[in-house]
Amino acid sequence: MRARMKRTNGKVCLRPFDFAQGVLSKIEGRRGVTLMELVIAMAMITIIFAAVLPQFALIRNSWDIKQGTAEALQNGRVLMDHINRNLSKAKQITAVAASSINFNDCNGVTFQYDVNSVNNYVEYGLTSDRADLAGPVNSLTFTCYDACDLDDPNTDVSKIRTVRVESTVTNTGLGQDKTFAAWAYLRTNGSSQTALTKGTTFEFDTSNGQYPALSQIDSTHYLCAYMGPGSDGFANVLTVNLGTWTISKSMLTALEFDTSDGQYPALSQIDSTHYLCAYRGPDNDGFAIVLTVNPGTWAVSKATLLPLEYDTSNGLYPVLSQIDSTHYLCAYTGTGNNGFAIVLTVDPGTWAVTKATLLPLEYDASNSLYPALSQIDSTHYLCAYTGSGSDGFAIVLTVDLGTWAVTKATLTALEFDTADGTYPALAQIDSTHYLCAYTGTGNDGFAIVLTVNPGTWAVSKATLLPFEYDTSNGLYPALSQIHSSGFLCSYQGPSSRAWAVVLNVDSAGWTISAETPLEFDSALAWPALAQIDAGNYLCVYAGQGSDGWAALFCTLRP
Amino acid sequence: MHPQTISVRRFMRIRRRQNGSVFLIVVFAIVLMATITVGILQMTTEELMLMQNQLYAAQAMCTAEAGLNAAFAQIRTNPSWTAGYTDEPFNGGTYDVTVTGTPPNPTITSEGISSQGYKARVAADVNVGSNTPGHVIRIYKLRINE
């Protein structure tokens, strides 16, 4: 009141109806407010707040929406980027479902994407140990396609190369959910699929080059023995340039290891510079000699002056299989076109070849042409051959590591084709199963899986009927394994031309299927195959003019 | 001095004080609006930066992929090609390609740099096929930004 009086006394004349004083009193409100004023003020404040508060709520909502959208976008991007990157690097899709996918990374480890059913987050990690990656998501779908057809989804994991990923990321704020889609292409191809294509060819002997045999020295050098001019035995080293993929021969003039006769040579590596060569020599007899390869010049020479005549009666179509570093099982067609087998011993000092036993085993006294060998273990060898009636036969031969005597593991051989079975070739699938390609009825190409019982050593057919991989022609097949279930088969196909095909063996029922065959030259007989690396193969054969030819194959699928 | 004149002056002074309240309200409103604007702007900028990060990283990755594909093209025609590329321009950025290992199993490494300086790296262990023409290249291992 003191202040009021001071102000009143000093500045304003006190008169009860003074206009200014009245206004002042009302405006300053220092005298208190009336109920009416209070009500009006509160009403005004309420109106103002009623008008402003929704704006605040709107702003808050807008903020939440933006934040939610940004989070959803970020989650979606992280998710898509992660999936796209890992699937691009993946070797193979191993399992796919509507909202999960399993794949092998480039190291062969299996990883998985799926949706956590508890919190709806996308999980990623090893199949047994996954962690939340991004989310939550309303949906995550994987649609798979092969390399070419992006219209029709493909669920065959061995063919999947493209994956369409679609995910709707939940907006945890007030905004809308965001849907993301991406296409991931598996850049790394770890599937077992192959695509057979041809490389360069090279004529290594322009005079004659029949019945060639191959043995790998290293990844770029291959010893090739063959019957050359005058039916004599020749050998040369073929060099494959891995940079330019061209073939050349190391010696301009091949070594003539037998100047009298040298047909149907077979080779087996002793060490990096020495190779045992068995062949049909003069008078159709069986001969064997060690060939030496100079690792500097890649020149071939004979390790001993004279070969061993291991069968003085007859020794056609010999095949070799290494038992240990000094002993080699040799199966061949001997006297009376019957089947014989003997162990040859190589002296690592003098490189002289001797017979481990005086007499060979006559494993088939009726007939045995074109034998093929495949090692089962150190003492057992599967031998497929053309037996009586030109039918296909197979038997297990046992080698006694003490006496080096060869015996038959079973009394009788399996007749795997009762109609026809010439020129058999063998390739091991696993310890008890062997792929046998041969020329069957109508000179067509056939293949069958043979099963060896590791207890009785009896041979049986894994399937009742063989698979006919070429219904026109299929002579002189040669086999080389590409992977656990795929085999490259080179043969004389339709019109006596050079063909090759990839045979796939399904271990579930031991059924065989063939991929599209490739015609790679105008003529071929008696091919031999050697693997260069995982996707490339060298094939030598008697080509045009019965000359010696070599060709490169590629089984890589990009 | 006329008493009424004094009263009017006082009234005007009081009016001026009332103008001060409006000023405060206006300042408050401006601050509020500015805060909201800055907040939204910050959010938008953040979103824009996220987008730019994504974009430039993708550009760098595409540049690295381009380098890898350029190397593949060279190797398809010449499997022994090992020259590589240095600062090869591509889409405003550049890529460097190095080829190590020996044919037919080289390792090709491509590093892409986007126009904004973002980097990405792609390395592939491949097997070059012997087929002709146009050697098949099969990737055995692919490493992205590792």
- DSSP of B59-123: HHHHHHHHHHHHHHHHHHH-TT----EEEEEETTEEEEEEEES-TTS-EEEEEEE-TTS-EEEEE
Percent of chain A topping pLDDT 90:
66
Residue B46, min C-alpha distance to chain A (Å): 9
**CB contact A103 to B (< 8 Å):** no
| Domain assignment present for A48 | no
Judged against a pLDDT cut of 70, whether residue A450 lies above it is answered with yes
Structure tokens at A518: 């490739």
Whether A386 and A394 have beta carbons less than 8 Å apart is answered as no
| Domain assignment present for A276 | yes
**Measured CA distances, A455 to A373, A380, A409, A452, A508 (Å):** 20, 12, 10, 9, 22
Please report how the helices A19-28 and B3-77 are oriented relative to each other, as an axis angle in degrees rounded to 10: 30
**CB contact B38 to A (< 8 Å):** no
Across the range A247-275, mean pLDDT stands at 95
The pLDDT value recorded for residue A14 is 45
Distance CA A127, CA B84 (A): 39
Pairing state between β A498-506 and A518-521: antiparallel
Across the range A216-243, mean pLDDT stands at 95
Distance CA A6, CA A22 (A): 17
Pairwise pLDDT comparison (A142 vs A174), residue with the higher score: A142
pLDDT in tens, A531-543: 998 889 999 999 9
H/E element, A447: strand A445-452
What's the domain count of chain A?
Answer: 2
A536: helix, strand or coil: strand
Residues in chain A: 558
Query: To the nearest whole number, what is the mean pLDDT of chain A?
Result: 89
Mean pLDDT is lowest, of A97-106, A450-459, B2-11, for B2-11
Residues of B whose CB is below 8 A from A245: 79, 104, 128, 130, 132, 135
Cα Dmax for chain A: 158
Judged against a pLDDT cut of 60, whether residue B70 lies above it is answered with yes
Structure tokens at A171: 């907006």
Which residue in the block uniquely carries the two structure tokens 């609006």?
A: B33
Are residues A466 and A549 both part of a single domain? yes
Are residues A159 and A298 both part of a single domain? no
| Domain assignment present for A372 | yes
Banded model confidence at residue A249, pLDDT cuts 50, 70, 90? very high
| Domain assignment present for A5 | no
Banded model confidence at residue A312, pLDDT cuts 50, 70, 90? very high
Banded model confidence at residue A556, pLDDT cuts 50, 70, 90? confident
Are residues A167 and A211 both part of a single domain? no
Judged against a pLDDT cut of 50, whether residue B25 lies above it is answered with yes
Judged against a pLDDT cut of 90, whether residue A204 lies above it is answered with yes
Are residues A290 and A361 both part of a single domain? yes
Pairwise pLDDT comparison (A309 vs B146), residue with the higher score: A309
Last residue of a domain, one of A161, A185, A209: A185
Are residues A109 and A160 both part of a single domain? yes
**CB contact A219 to B (< 8 Å):** no
Using the beta-carbon criterion (under 8 Å), do B143 and A89 form an inter-chain contact? Answer: yes
* Short-list A265, A302, A305, A304, CA closest to A281: A265
The pLDDT value recorded for residue B8 is 62
Task: List phi, psi (to 5°) of A35.
Answer: -60, -40
Are residues A125 and A206 both part of a single domain? no
Across the range A333-362, mean pLDDT stands at 95
Across the range B21-27, mean pLDDT stands at 72
The pLDDT value recorded for residue A5 is 41
Pairing state between β A380-386 and A406-408: unpaired
pLDDT in tens, A56-88: 777 778 778 877 888 888 888 888 889 988 988
Pairwise pLDDT comparison (B8 vs B114), residue with the higher score: B114
pLDDT in tens, A492-521: 999 999 999 999 999 999 999 999 999 999
Structure tokens at B63: 């540049």
Are residues A152 and A201 both part of a single domain? no
Last residue of a domain, one of A185, A216, A235: A185
| Domain assignment present for A12 | no
pTM: 0.77
The pLDDT value recorded for residue B9 is 65
Whether A251 and A298 have beta carbons less than 8 Å apart is answered as yes
Please report, for the domain that includes residue A358, its CATH number.
Answer: 2.120.10.80
Are residues A257 and A284 both part of a single domain? yes
Residue B129, min C-alpha distance to chain A (Å): 5
Using the beta-carbon criterion (under 8 Å), do B129 and A532 form an inter-chain contact? Answer: no
Banded model confidence at residue A11, pLDDT cuts 50, 70, 90? very low
Residue A329, min C-alpha distance to chain B (Å): 34
Judged against a pLDDT cut of 80, whether residue A112 lies above it is answered with yes
Are residues A359 and A269 both part of a single domain? yes
Across the range A384-388, mean pLDDT stands at 95
Distance CA A388, CA A380 (A): 23
Residue B92, min C-alpha distance to chain A (Å): 23
Q: How many CB pairs under 8 A join A and B?
A: 134
The pLDDT value recorded for residue A10 is 43
Distance CA A536, CA A532 (A): 5
pLDDT in tens, A16-70: 445 555 555 555 555 566 888 888 888 888 888 788 778 777 777 877 887 788 8
Strands (E), A59-116: 92-97, 100-104, 110-115
Positive/negative CA dihedral, B129, B135, B138, B142: positive
| Domain assignment present for A38 | no
The pLDDT value recorded for residue B91 is 84
Last residue of a domain, one of A185, A216, A250: A185
Pairing state between β A137-145 and A327-333: unpaired
The pLDDT value recorded for residue A4 is 42
Residues in chain B: 146
Query: What are residue A406's DSSP bridge partners?
Result: A399
Are residues A114 and A228 both part of a single domain? no
Are residues A422 and A362 both part of a single domain? yes
A12: helix, strand or coil: coil
Whether A238 and A251 have beta carbons less than 8 Å apart is answered as no
Whether A492 and A422 have beta carbons less than 8 Å apart is answered as no
Pairwise pLDDT comparison (B144 vs B40), residue with the higher score: B144
Across the range A461-469, mean pLDDT stands at 94
Task: List phi, psi (to 5°) of A425.
Answer: -130, 145
| CB atoms inside a 10 Å sphere around CB A323 | 21
Are residues A465 and A524 both part of a single domain? yes
Percent of chain A topping pLDDT 70:
93
A302: helix, strand or coil: strand
DSSP B10-29: HHHHHHHHHHHHHHHHHHHH
| Domain assignment present for A324 | yes
Domain ranges of chain B: 3-144
Range of the domain at A228: 197-554
